[in-house]
Structure 1
């Protein structure tokens, strides 16, 4: 089987191993927020397709991504091109029932920008669900490469150029190092630092932690 077909069957295909993992995570989200269908949700760094395929869709979804929005947006959704770490005032001043983010925090670009991302999460709503892959899972999830995240940048760049199961084709050194430097997996201490008042849930595969999810489900009581 050709490498790109193997990746498709492992990760991208409906019914693939990763697709089943995503479905289980979606079901976990629904159990955690049983009123999701009534909520106004902002998705930081996500894509509209996540919600068009969802078995339970929020009443309103606002997707914010660096990519240009698609031409067709359904009436229950809103799509903006913006940086979640530096939101324009027209978005930052709004409030939502739930702030959602899936596999984005590891790509925002370093500690300072992760702090700004977390600040946006806390500002936009009282409830949140922020997922990111766990650094110490033995398989690097973007390239499906064992232990790649523990290598020096030079070797990670070489793997990114040549490893056949990567999420994007990288034919040049510049393209490969760009992807490597913009992918920084997190551990539990970091997640607790960015989300100190949240529960840190652990998604496991084969008993091993695969991803971390910072969750807040209730609105804190106001002091008298």
Structure 2
């Protein structure tokens, strides 16, 4: 494993890492919001089978919708589709579910208009939702684990990401560096409230600072 991946793994991916502890606490909040999760049909926008296979809770069924292909050996309670839910015709074809789950996806869909379409798809697909996204004003940018990274000009981000040791996958040239950063737009509290006006907004905090925001419309 490359040195930068090993270093990043200590913070984010390894058992006992900070990232793993945050995910465990997030699952507990999720279960509190949706106590009947075992009986619910879930559509996960942007999620992966691995996340649900490692989860401490298992819904009745999970349908994954992503732009990337899913594994061919999914268990019977997980299905997958390769689709873009900002396309209204795609949403119509997906049917309806009990709950929409989306973790760290809305900041990748591409601009405010696309985020509005994404939020509209969530409202269309299910009466309940859990939509989590990193908070723009947390001092450490979560995708690259770099302090203040999100406030730099794009050109500076594209240059830094080619050398920063905690990058998940280091770009090999300037164009790849720009591709790595240009599609990420972290959201503010005001924008989340605008996109999900009828939802409760939960703040995940670290040392008193908001790390991520989750728009929740839970069980009545």
Normalised TM-score (structure 1): 0.94
CA distance in 2, matches of 1:126, 1:83: 20
Could you list the runs of 5+ residues in structure 1 that have no partner in the other structure?
Answer: 220-224
Identify the residue that residue 67 of structure 1 maps to in structure 2: 68
Residue 98 of structure 1 contacts residue 126 of structure 1 at CA under 8 Å; is this kept in 2?
A: yes
- 1:133 matched to 2:120? The reply is no
Identify the residue that residue 19 of structure 1 maps to in structure 2: 20
Q: Evaluate the alpha carbon distance shift between residue 110 and residue 155 of structure 1 in structure 2; reply closer, same or farther with a 3 A threshold.
A: same
Could you list the runs of 5+ residues in structure 2 that have no partner in the other structure?
Answer: none
Shift in Å, 1:3: 2.6
Per the alignment, in what secondary structure is the counterpart of residue 128 of structure 1? strand
Identify the residue that residue 195 of structure 1 maps to in structure 2: 196
Residue 161 of structure 1 contacts residue 172 of structure 1 at CA under 8 Å; is this kept in 2?
A: yes
CA distance in 2, matches of 1:90, 1:97: 15
Residue 100 of structure 2 contacts residue 129 of structure 2 at CA under 8 Å; is this kept in 1?
A: yes
Q: Evaluate the alpha carbon distance shift between residue 180 and residue 89 of structure 1 in structure 2; reply closer, same or farther with a 3 A threshold.
A: closer
Shift in Å, 1:163: 0.7
Per the alignment, in what secondary structure is the counterpart of residue 162 of structure 2? helix
Structure number with higher relative contact order (C-alpha < 8 Å, ≥ 6 residues apart): 2
CA distance in 2, matches of 1:87, 1:75: 27
Shift in Å, 1:93: 4.8
Identify the residue that residue 222 of structure 1 maps to in structure 2: none
Identify the residue that residue 218 of structure 2 maps to in structure 1: 217
Residue 82 of structure 1 contacts residue 88 of structure 1 at CA under 8 Å; is this kept in 2?
A: no
Residue 41 of structure 1 contacts residue 61 of structure 1 at CA under 8 Å; is this kept in 2?
A: yes
Shift in Å, 1:2: 3.1
CA distance in 1, matches of 2:92, 2:159: 39
Identify the residue that residue 161 of structure 2 maps to in structure 1: 160
Residue 92 of structure 1 contacts residue 120 of structure 1 at CA under 8 Å; is this kept in 2?
A: no
Shift in Å, 1:64: 0.5
Shift in Å, 1:172: 1.2
Root-mean-square deviation (CA), in Å? 1.5
Per the alignment, in what secondary structure is the counterpart of residue 213 of structure 1? strand
Shift in Å, 1:169: 1.9
Task: Give 1:59-138 correspondences, 5 Å limit.
Answer: 59-86=60-87, 88-89=89-90, 92-138=93-139
Task: Give 1:32-51 correspondences, 5 Å limit.
Answer: 32-51=33-52
CA distance in 2, matches of 1:89, 1:183: 23
Shift in Å, 1:89: 4.1
Count residues with an aligned counterpart: 219
Identify the residue that residue 182 of structure 2 maps to in structure 1: 181
Residue 45 of structure 2 contacts residue 100 of structure 2 at CA under 8 Å; is this kept in 1?
A: yes
